[in-house]
């Protein structure tokens, strides 16, 4: 895929993912309370405002602040920068792979922005259950990260085959 097409695709997916995530977080912060839960669809969908100082499902949230900063700001920021460079420079990546990698980058960056802006936490507000199964509290960026990972698995990190030149 040509660089200009790849850059356009990355820009579009990034703008949509981060834009939707940040808008939904702003709405959640403006309309939800940390003291109450809103139930929908018979309690299958719950909206509750939380401040997640950890990563996925709060993992690492109890680490000392300096360790959390090193891992979740510097470490994650470095990983995301490397992922963006890889996505930008990988000429062989097909469109679904570029979209998936950009969704992962965008979800991670949107949550990283929260940590920087809000002093170390991410705004989470969604919780879903189906029978006895229940998710942790999450946000749209988390959905983008998982969707990107599922797409990568589905396409198998496919790239265009190299044509041997004689």
> Tens digits of per-residue pLDDT, 72-108?
788 899 999 999 999 999 999 999 999 999 999 999 9
Query: DSSP strand E in the chain: where?
Result: 38-40, 45-52, 122-130, 133-134
How many helices (H) and strands (E) would you count in the chain?
Answer: 5, 4
Does a structural domain hold residue 165? no
Q: Tell me if 166 is assigned to some domain.
A: no
Determine the pLDDT at residue 163: 55
Q: Tell me whether residue 43 is in a domain.
A: yes
Asked whether residue 118 is domain-assigned, the answer is yes
- Give CA–CA dist 47/36, Å, rounded: 9
Q: Which domain holds residue 65?
A: 3-155
Q: Please tell me whether residue 138 adopts helix, strand or coil conformation.
A: strand
- In a domain? residue 160: no
Q: How far is CA 140 from the centre of its chain?
A: 7
pTM value is: 0.87
Task: Let me know if residue 34 belongs to a domain.
Answer: yes
Has residue 163 been placed in a domain? no
């Amino acid at each position: 895929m040509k660089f200009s097409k790849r850059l356009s695709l990355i820009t579009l997916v990034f703008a949509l993912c981060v834009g939707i995530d940040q808008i939904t977080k702003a709405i959640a912060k403006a309309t939800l309370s940390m003291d109450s839960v809103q139930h929908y669809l018979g309690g299958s969908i719950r909206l509750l405002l939380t401040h997640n100082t950890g990563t996925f499902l709060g993992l690492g949230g109890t680490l000392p602040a300096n360790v959390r900063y090193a891992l979740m700001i510097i470490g994650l920021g470095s990983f995301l920068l490397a992922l963006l460079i890889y996505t930008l420079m990988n000429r062989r990546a097909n469109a679904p792979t570029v979209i998936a990698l950009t969704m992962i980058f965008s979800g991670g960056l949107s949550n990283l922005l929260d940590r920087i802006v809000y002093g170390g936490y991410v705004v989470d507000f969604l919780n879903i259950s189906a029978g006895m199964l229940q998710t942790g509290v999450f946000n749209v960026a988390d959905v983008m990260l998982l969707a990107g990972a599922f797409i990568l698995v589905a396409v198998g990190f496919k790239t265009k085959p190299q044509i041997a030149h004689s």
